[in-house]
Amino acid sequence: MELDRRIFLGGMGTLLIPTAFLPASPAFAVELDGTLTIGMSTESSSMDPHWHIQTANSSVSQHIFDRIVHLDKNQIEVPGLAESWQSIDSNTWEFTLRDGATFHNGDPVTVEDLIFSYERASNVPGAIFNLRAYLGDKRFEKVGDRTLRVITEHANPIVPRELATTAIISKRIGETALPEDYNSGEACIGSGPYKFVDYVPGQVIELERNEEYWGELPDWSRVVIRPIPTGGSRVAALQSGDVNVIDTVPPSDVEHLENDSEIDLGRGTANRMIFLFFDHGRDVSPYATAKDGSEIPNPFKSRLVRDAFDLAIDKKAIAARILSGNGAPAEQLVPAGIFGHNPDIPLRNADTAKAKAMLEEAGYPDGFKVTLHGPNDRFIRDSSVMQAAAQMLARIGIDIEVDAMPANIFYKRASSGGEGGVPEFSFFLVGYGAATGEVSAALRNLIHTYDASTGFGSNNRGRYSNPEIDLLIEEGMATLDDVRREEIYKTCCAMTVEDVAVVPLYYPISVWGMQSDIAFEGRSDERTLAMDFNAAG
């Protein structure tokens, strides 16, 4: 993480933005105990903290609803509503609830509230994405007024990290509340550092500081969050003083903001890998054919073909030229600093001639035809990244077509759009970020053989399968000793790269813009939290 502070000669530019994004009065210079106005690239879709677990929603809910364990800017666990926790045995954890934590209405936070929250988060009717993947292996018991016992089906060393994904709500309020009751504010009563004031979908979220919060009080007495989906409008709002902070600075605006003496940039390498996935499962893949369109055996079952694709793609060039520095070239599943990252895996230099020779050795001297599918509105310049990768593959003889589409359409087809409800595509761009801050999530969800009954491989849309890696993943997930578990995961990462399960492209570099009198260090989970911004000086 790093905060760039650059002071140059020159005045602050003035740009026009749509009036729908303007607050009642310009933000300009911030004041301690004043208002922090944040321009967000993605709109929060619900105030119900269990409705849809995605970055924008989690960012908002974390202001209002506390967690039993917090993850810091590097996704390392620190005390939250639990002041301490310990592993009793390989299948049992106990958490001690801190004394004095209360909900915004004055009710004490109890062990019963914790248990209710975990049960509800796994079973919210109609939820877009529930938390069963993190909670499904657990039973919860009250063993004292301040002690929660968590019993897992199998040994699980990351129970604190998994529980950190879930917002704690009031049982008394939540038992009868529906998602719309949270949106109206009636049920939006948490125990976090901010209280709900107002929510107008697509326009504004207003919060006020919880002066009774058990932890350190944030600098800002009031927070206003405004969705500004267009990058240029977000930058204009920041430069004109209408907001104090923005997330997701567009690559094209980074350089000129670095030269604006009124603006600072905060950066953090995200714990997310953007990558290319192959169809590993089918004997004949629907979008991979001979150049004349005739059917051929699935070429991606050949490791040599996969390796040729990986070697043909210049990841450094994509990061530098397409992403303009808003991405770091990726060589494995997670970036440095994340538990399980293997520092001995090198970043390969692209080699077109060698890649072409690999294709010939695999039996494709003239290449073949394939479609590269992906979203066009999910990641930074995702369509451009796909086009660049396609051009690089064309140099080794691959006749490649790019089909980019809105993310809501792409993910449905990528997961179940094929005949019989299986994943549809042969070759596609996608991303994965682990909420738990360990590589184990990527290993068990992306790399482990798909198994609907256990939940393994839940995001393995390429149906990759390697029984040897599966056994190691499961061993790591049951290993409580951190040193041993990390070595297992490093081995898994090396084997995954060696077998070319996926083609890692880049780790996004999240860039936040803020007025120069605000200090911020960035976060690896990409969340934008008012609690992390401080009045500088």
Neighbouring C-beta atoms of residue 8, cutoff 10 Å: 8
* Beta-carbon contacts of residue 167 (< 8 Å; ≥ 6 apart): 49, 50, 61, 62, 65, 66, 67, 117, 121, 190
- Which conformational region is residue 191 in: left (phi greater than 0), alpha (psi within -120 to 50 degrees), or beta? alpha
Which pair of tokens denotes residue 176? Answer: 């009868």
Q: Is residue 182 part of a domain?
A: no
Tell me the per-residue pLDDT of 240-299, one tens digit each, with 9 for 90 and over. Answer: 999 999 998 988 898 889 999 999 999 888 889 999 999 999 999 999 999 999 999 999
Kindly state whether residues 137 and 75 are assigned to the same domain.
yes
Kindly state whether residues 471 and 344 are assigned to the same domain.
yes
Buried b (16+ CB within 10 A) or exposed e, 115-124: bbbbebbbeb
- Which of 3, 340, 332 is CA-nearest to residue 161? 340
Cα distance between residue 23 and residue 44, in whole Å:
18
CA quadruple 318, 321, 325, 326: dihedral sign = negative
Helices (H), 272-406: 303-312, 315-317, 352-361, 382-394
Q: In the chain, how many domains are there? A: 3
Neighbouring C-beta atoms of residue 32, cutoff 10 Å: 10
Q: Is residue 227 part of a domain?
A: yes
Cα distance between residue 151 and residue 230, in whole Å:
46
Kindly state whether residues 304 and 390 are assigned to the same domain.
yes
Kindly state whether residues 73 and 130 are assigned to the same domain.
yes
Q: Is residue 391 part of a domain?
A: yes
pTM: 0.79
Q: Is residue 183 part of a domain?
A: no
Kindly state whether residues 393 and 469 are assigned to the same domain.
yes
Cα-flanking dihedrals φ and ψ of residue 492, to 5°? -60, -45
Kindly state whether residues 16 and 104 are assigned to the same domain.
no
Which pair of tokens denotes residue 48? Answer: 């119900």
CA quadruple 243, 245, 248, 250: dihedral sign = positive
Domain that holds residue 381: 272-509
Q: Is residue 287 part of a domain?
A: yes
Kindly state whether residues 374 and 398 are assigned to the same domain.
yes
Cα distance between residue 52 and residue 66, in whole Å:
17
Q: In this structure, are residues 204 and 225 in contact, taking their beta carbons and an 8 Å threshold? A: yes
Q: Residue 254, Cα to own-chain centre: how many angstroms?
A: 22
pLDDT at 91 (0 to 100) = 93
pLDDT at 127 (0 to 100) = 64
Query: Could you tell me the CATH number of the domain that includes residue 140?
Result: 3.90.76.10
Tell me the per-residue pLDDT of 173-232, one tens digit each, with 9 for 90 and over. Answer: 999 999 999 999 999 999 999 999 999 998 999 999 999 999 999 999 999 999 998 889
Cα distance between residue 450 and residue 445, in whole Å:
8
DSSP-assigned letter for residue 379: S
Q: Is residue 364 part of a domain?
A: yes
Q: In this structure, are residues 338 and 439 in contact, taking their beta carbons and an 8 Å threshold? A: yes
Q: Is residue 185 part of a domain?
A: no
Q: Per this entry, what is the length of the chain?
A: 537
Kindly state whether residues 295 and 356 are assigned to the same domain.
yes
Query: Could you tell me the CATH number of the domain that includes residue 279?
Result: 3.10.105.10
Cα distance between residue 477 and residue 138, in whole Å:
14
Which pair of tokens denotes residue 106? Answer: 């004055």
DSSP-assigned letter for residue 108: B
pLDDT at 16 (0 to 100) = 33
* Beta-carbon contacts of residue 16 (< 8 Å; ≥ 6 apart): 236
Kindly state whether residues 319 and 345 are assigned to the same domain.
yes
**What's the helix, strand, coil split of the chain in %, to 5?**
30, 25, 45
Q: Is 399 strand, coil or helix?
A: strand
Q: Count Cβ atoms within 10 A of the Cβ of residue 195 and give its class: 0-12 exposed, 13-18 middle, 19 or more buried.
A: buried
What residue has token string 């209710």?
Answer: 116
Which pair of tokens denotes residue 278? Answer: 């192959």
How far is it between the farthest Cα atoms of the chain?
72
Kindly state whether residues 321 and 440 are assigned to the same domain.
yes
Cα distance between residue 402 and residue 408, in whole Å:
17
- Which of 356, 478, 461 is CA-nearest to residue 410? 461
Q: How many CA atoms lie within 13 A of 118 on its CB side?
A: 24
Q: Is residue 340 part of a domain?
A: yes
Q: Residue 247, Cα to own-chain centre: how many angstroms?
A: 14
Cα distance between residue 174 and residue 169, in whole Å:
7
Which pair of tokens denotes residue 43? Answer: 């709109």
Kindly state whether residues 67 and 203 are assigned to the same domain.
no
Q: In this structure, are residues 163 and 69 in contact, taking their beta carbons and an 8 Å threshold? A: yes
Pairing of strands 369-375, 245-246: unpaired
* Beta-carbon contacts of residue 260 (< 8 Å; ≥ 6 apart): 8, 10, 12, 13, 239
DSSP-assigned letter for residue 97: E
Kindly state whether residues 279 and 400 are assigned to the same domain.
yes
183: part of which helix (H) or strand (E)? helix 179-184
Write the single-letter amino acid at 116.
F
Q: Is 260 strand, coil or helix?
A: coil
Name residues of the chain where pLDDT drops below 70: 1-30, 126-130, 537
